[in-house]
Structure 1
Amino acid sequence: MAREPEPSLEQLNILVGEWQTTIPSAETRGRTTFEWLEGGGFLIQRSTVERPEYPNAVSIIGATGSDGAFQQHYFDSRGVTRIFDMMLRDNVWTLFRDGPDWPQRFVGHISGDGNTINARLERGNYPGGPLEHDFDMVYSRIA
């Protein structure tokens, strides 16, 4: 029997469910699901994309302390692994990393009804370098 998530994780409930994803500039669709790990200690994100040139991924999200900060551990079908710092405040979902290859940032604005997330993804060309727009993504809640 699954228990309720820890209080520090409760704000992530807005993500729980199934989402259709679209990348308008690439005419690409996919699906993303968020569900609690049995026991409630971590949120699991699974993403699939309809085009084989894009990776499928699984991520594990957990709290890093009582200050509302999280980490997302990302793994994809190419064998890529990354760790992102994550925040979810005032309906803005932010992921960031300044990794050894390049920095990345995801900023998703969650609609008032919680059924749409409009996200902007950015990346840099070198660690510590400036970030530039990479692509936009829209999440639309299915269930």
Structure 2
Amino acid sequence: MTSMLLERLNILVGEWETTAPGMDAVGRTTFEWLPGGGFLIQRSTVERPEFPNAICTIGATGSDGALQQHYFDSRGVARVLDMTLEGNVWTLFRDGPDWPQRYIGHISEDGSTITGRWERGTYLGAPLEHDFDLNFTRIIA
């Protein structure tokens, strides 16, 4: 059952250019399956030193279809985000413990772009507000 749940992640597999409009930040993100399967590995680099590079593992947390992303970056930050990928909408979200955060990305019909935005609250329970846009353009499938 888990392998069927993970199959929906295949739309992310490949190499992507990332842009954060208005922040002059360009980077690269790759998604590839861990050898032997079971987890999708996401690696992200940004061409500006003030932005962190990151590695994430994405996998199913059970037979109910729930997904999680375990995030680690070059600043030493580690987070666990709940994730959904339903239809053409990719969502990452967490409630804290320090502040809430959410990414909502819309995947184009041909799977070549993801247009999205990060939102965050200033404290646990705060309403979410726009933080920054983050878009992906596929380079290699």
TM-score tier (shorter): over 0.9
4+ residue stretches of structure 1 with deviation over 3 A?
none
Counterparts of residues 7-26 of structure 1 (less than 5 Å): 7-26=4-23
Q: For residues 47 and 132 of structure 2, what CA distance do their matches in structure 1 show?
A: 17
Residues 61-89 of structure 1 deviation map (CA, whole Å, 9 limit, x = unaligned)? 01012333200000000000000000000
Q: Does 1:135 align with 2:129?
A: no
The aligned residue for residue 116 of structure 2 is 119
* Gapped regions of structure 1 (runs ≥ 5): none
TM-score in terms of structure 2 length = 0.96
The aligned residue for residue 64 of structure 1 is 61
Residues 7-29 of structure 1 deviation map (CA, whole Å, 9 limit, x = unaligned)? 11000000000000000110110
Q: For residues 91 and 20 of structure 2, what CA distance do their matches in structure 1 show?
A: 18
The aligned residue for residue 102 of structure 1 is 99
Task: Report the residue type matching 2:36 in the other structure.
Answer: G
Partner residue of 1:92 out of 84, 89, 92: 89
* Gapped regions of structure 2 (runs ≥ 5): none
RMSD after superposition = 1.0
Classify the secondary structure of the residue corresponding to 1:8.
Answer: helix
Report how far residue 101 of structure 1 moved: 1.1
Partner residue of 2:29 out of 25, 29, 32: 32
Classify the secondary structure of the residue corresponding to 2:118.
Answer: strand
Aligned residues: 139
